[in-house]
Amino acid sequence: MPIETPFSSKRFLLALMLAACSVILLQNNSLSKNSSFLFELACMAAGLLICFLCFIPALMLRKMRGADILRLSTRSPAFIKLPVAVFYACYFVYTALYFLIPYTDMFHSKYYPGVSPCLITVVLLGCCVYAAVKGVNVVTRFGIFLFLFAMLTNILMFGGNLTALELTASSVSWQGNAGDFWQNTRYFLTPAFIAVVFACLNADIRNFRLRQPVCALFFTGLKYAAVLFFIRFAVGAYASRQEYPTFVLSRTAHFDRFAGVESFYLALATMSVFMIISLLLCCVTKAIDREKNLRTVILFTLILLAAYTVSAYLHSAKEILTNPNIFIIFTGIAALLPLSGLIMGRKSNVPTLVHSM
């Protein structure tokens, strides 16, 4: 089995941060309409704090055992290895579909209604297969380009809406109840999936520091806050009545006679989802001890395509695959599972590929 070449932890956490930004890009009226901007910021802070707590089991396993959960499981007896591999494979497939379905819906309904969503899925998954076969190192290198493109898109999207900002005394109001808090916080728990990706791939990173996941979540929060701010105060109530408010924000951006940067937004959303699915395919092949194996990558890609096709024709399947409660529970279990490695893992059986934290 090919072993992944160690790569920069900064580049890896940058890739995870960019993957997490897809959450706000694909936001589709997931937040309560009865909550104020400050209330949403408080919910965001609570959600991202819990996301950081999801990193802790993987950080402990890395420091005490010198490995990630998948590296430990593949060197464990079959009665441990098999259940762990099956669980994580199912989680990665579910997570990929959780982002793939809303992305293709947005692409189809907002940008290219004449193109079949299944065709969009096939093209995107084909690109992800190539990236997954190349490995995590190559995927994270793409993250550098994606970061630069994201910066350009943000400048255009936010800068083009500056003249439309309308701030009033009511802007600093506090509005929201317990139900609104749970709905909003649940949404901001979605980025916790990057903690699971970290838990499964961190054995191959070098020069890791604890501040890196903290910085990744901090800058993710800044991105979320900026998008929420401009949606509320530049687009206003109009955005709340539309699907995919961030897409609406990209359409309202204008510079003199130039109006709309939805092409940049769509490209950024596409590359972010591409990053997510590519990393998840790398994770799932590592889970079954078949890293960079073309046939294994294609097999799981076909499983993704088949599940997506079912969801396209069966609404109940789509509801299950995009249910935020199921996703959060699934993610919580996947993030906590590395704690078992502290009990069952054997440090002597795992080559130390990392520096001490």
Is 353's pLDDT higher than 50? no
**What 3-state class would DSSP assign to 166?**
coil
Amino acid at 61: L
Residues 53, 91: Cα–Cα separation, whole Å: 19
Q: Where are the extended beta strands (E) located within the chain?
A: 7-8, 205-206, 254-255, 258-259
Over the stretch 63-120, which tens digit does the pLDDT of each residue have?
888 778 888 887 777 778 888 999 999 999 999 999 999 999 988 887 777 778 888 8
SS3 216: helix
pLDDT one-digit tens code per residue, 257-268: 777 788 899 999
β-strands 254-255, 7-8: how paired?
unpaired
pLDDT tens for 31-43 read 988 888 999 999 9
Three-class SS of residue 255?
strand
DSSP 261-311: -HHHHHHHHHHHHHHHHHHHHHHHHHHTT-TT-HHHHHHHHHHHHHHHHHH
| 3-state SS class at 243 | coil
Q: How far is CA 305 from CA 122, 131, 183, 297, 300, in A?
A: 7, 17, 30, 12, 9
Sequence length of the chain is 357
> Do 71 and 352 contact (CB within 8 A), yes or no?
no
State how far the Cα of 22 lies from the Cα of 8, in Å rounded to an integer.
22
Strand partners, 255: 258
What are 180's two structure tokens? 């609104």
Distance CA 144, CA 130 (A): 18
Q: What is the pLDDT of residues 186-213, one digit of tens each?
A: 999 999 999 999 999 988 888 888 899 9
* pLDDT tens-digit series, residues 210-231: 899 999 999 999 999 999 999 9
pLDDT for 356: 36
C-alpha 337/C-alpha 167 separation (Å) is: 45
Domains annotated for the chain, with CATH where assigned, are: 7-345 (1.10.4160.10)
Contact 12, 205 (CB under 8 A): yes
* pTM, rounded to two decimals: 0.91
| Sign of the C-alpha dihedral computed for residues 27, 29, 32 and 33 taken in this order | positive
> Residue 206 pairs with which residues in a beta bridge?
8
Contacts of 288 (CB under 8 A, 6+ apart): 85, 89, 296
Structure tokens at 108: 């189809």
